[in-house]
A and B are shown apart, each in its own frame.
Chain A
Amino acid sequence: MQGMARMLSNNKLRQFARLGQRGAYGQSMLLIAESNEDLFCLSADLGNSSGLDRFSSKYGSRYLNLGIAEQHLVGFSAGLSRIGFNCFISSFAPFITMRCAEQIRMNLSYMQDNVKLVGLGSGVSMGYLGNSHFGLEDIGMIANHNNIPIFCPSDTTQLYCILKFLVELKGPAYVRLTGTADTSELIYDTEIDISLGGSSTLLTGESLLILTHGAITHDCLCAIRGLEETRQSRYHLEDVYCIHPIGSKVRRLLKQFKKILIVEEHRKQGGLYSLVSDLVSDMGISVDLRSLALPNGFLCSGDYSSIKANYGLDIYGIGKALKDAVA
């Protein structure tokens, strides 16, 4: 049986927000599984870290922990999808995108098998666990493959909507989860429509186009709201939840604005900045394209907020970049 997953109640919506994206992933799958019998969740021994504990007890026959073996996880899930199962597989962002990169290339990209990769704790949200667990290059890893769309939800409501969309989308995709439970903020208090190549406009303005994705979208929103009221109207804030492929709406915006700032919790190389750079070059347009991103090299550890602050990706740092960009 396939059907539309149910709408989030107000209570659920707020409960998901408290859990943060990782916990909300598993809870979302629990709801979506009610109306999708073929939905199958797999993990490489990080089921609990994916919030899948309740899913695995309720839908034991549709959950597998394949052990700490990401290469096997990807190949196995691709095979399982061939029998009609709708596979979602999760592990920390570097492990699900790099340890098994060639399995992704053969099975998901080349054969286009119906498996969704879910990267947990991407960006610097793993805090003190450090560089081994940070997702600094995962967007670049996946964007380098042919035909694997990349979704980066900015909050837990959008995450739920993206997952509902992906259950219906045949073929592979990567979902990049960022943020932590204790810093989780709600941007959307109602469900939104999701599309391939889609984005959501959060603020409109004429001087600077800000393209962002993931949990720091909320920091961008706060940074703009923290500016003097007369300045606020200069900024257009676009939540690019599908960063690959980039859709027609963002393409239109790129033509409208002369100055663009890309704010992302990822290295500049391989991230949205790189994807947009390639695109504006292909489009033959000349824009002042700026980046506020994580620097190259390996990064310091700390709690999530302090790492973001260290690299200018907190509200203060983003606010400063916004002012610098629009004198």
Chain B
Amino acid sequence: MNESEVKELQDAALSVRKLILDMAYTKKGGHHIGGGLSIVEIMCYLYGRFLNLCPEDVESHGRDRFILSKGHGVLGYFPVLYYYGYISRKVLESYKTPNGVLIAHPVKDTSLGIESSNGSLGQGLSYGAGIAYGLLQRENTARVIVLVGDGECNEGSIWEGIMSATSLGLRNLYLIVDNNSMQSDGTTKAIIDQGNLDERIASFGWDVQVVNGHSYNELERAMNVQTTKPKAIIANTIKGKGISFMEGNNSYHHASLTSNIHTQAMEDLIARYG
């Protein structure tokens, strides 16, 4: 990726983070802020560069399929869909309004580019594996990308999917782990230590790449490794990434923003990346 291509994605990420802060502030109540912010670069890379998808033909037969298995990460998803032209401003603004189109988890609506309903953790990988298998059966070259959280990997069903994917030779399946090292109640290390998550997944026969999940060049390299194995990308990220006082601060796992905090956060973001 050349400098201007990286810059383009960085601009996208800045806009997306601003939208995240605005959404979290204007829509009352709590929001999963930390885990939304940690996936911004991953999502901008996917939608800005990797996915074979276009807003004008969002339900095309040969489209790549993206599944946000960590369904609570919508703050890192809906603004990206808006930024890249999949949903309108009006739809984005319906987020967390009574009877609005968008709620705090993805709800399947392929016309908006949302492939599956999520929120119950541990389900996206099996779903994506089924899609990937079906595509191979149909000799369709589209790819399936499933984004899970590291905490989500506590779910046994994730491991059922990991075991199965290699047996079925799902070379078109990508599992990205948002490895932000925190989950709802604390650090993933203290709850179920998965420090060697890469080795664990590799032991089931996957190609595993460990990258800085905020580096576009590292994501690009990892996502384009040529292999016939299913591909896992352990994206090391920082929960709350982008706002100094939210980074690694689990009180922003699910939180609401006051006017003061919103202003502080926006100033901090712009000072660092603006």
| Chain A residues at the B interface, C-beta cutoff of 8 Å | 61, 64, 66-67, 69, 71-72, 74-85, 102-103, 105-107, 110-111
Contacting residue for B135 out of A74, A75, A81, A83, CB 8 A: A83
A79→B156 CA distance, assembly (Å): 18
Contacting residue for B134 out of A69, A74, A80, CB 8 A: A80
| Chain B residues at the A interface, C-beta cutoff of 8 Å | 108, 115-120, 122-123, 125-135, 137-138, 140, 156-157, 160-161, 163-164, 167-168
B242 to chain A, nearest CB (A): 31
In the complex, are the beta carbons of A79 and B164 less than 8 A apart? no
| List of B residues within 8 angstroms of A76 by Cβ | 126-127, 129-130, 133, 161, 164
Contacting residue for A79 out of B118, B119, B127, B157, CB 8 A: B127
| List of A residues within 8 angstroms of B161 by Cβ | 72, 75-76
- Asked, given contacts A76-B164, A102-B120, whether A71 binds B130 with beta carbons under 8 Å apart, the answer is no
A66→B118 CA distance, assembly (Å): 22
Other than A71-B157, A85-B137, give 5 A-B pairs with Cβ distance below 8 A: A72-B160, A79-B131, A106-B123, A110-B117, A111-B117
A77→B130 CA distance, assembly (Å): 6
| List of B residues within 8 angstroms of A72 by Cβ | 126, 129, 157, 160-161, 164
Sort A-B residue pairs by CB-CB distance and give the 4 closest, nearest first. A79-B130, A75-B126, A83-B134, A72-B160
| List of B residues within 8 angstroms of A78 by Cβ | 127, 130
Q: State the majority secondary structure of interface residues on B.
A: helix
A22 to chain B, nearest CB (A): 25
Could you pull out 10 A-B pairs where Cβ atoms are within 8 angstroms?
A67-B167, A71-B122, A71-B123, A72-B160, A76-B130, A79-B127, A79-B131, A83-B131, A103-B126, A111-B108
A80→B173 CA distance, assembly (Å): 13
A83→B115 CA distance, assembly (Å): 12
B180 to chain A, nearest CB (A): 24
A46 to chain B, nearest CB (A): 16
| List of A residues within 8 angstroms of B168 by Cβ | 64
A178 to chain B, nearest CB (A): 28
In the complex, are the beta carbons of A80 and B117 less than 8 A apart? no
A71→B122 CA distance, assembly (Å): 10
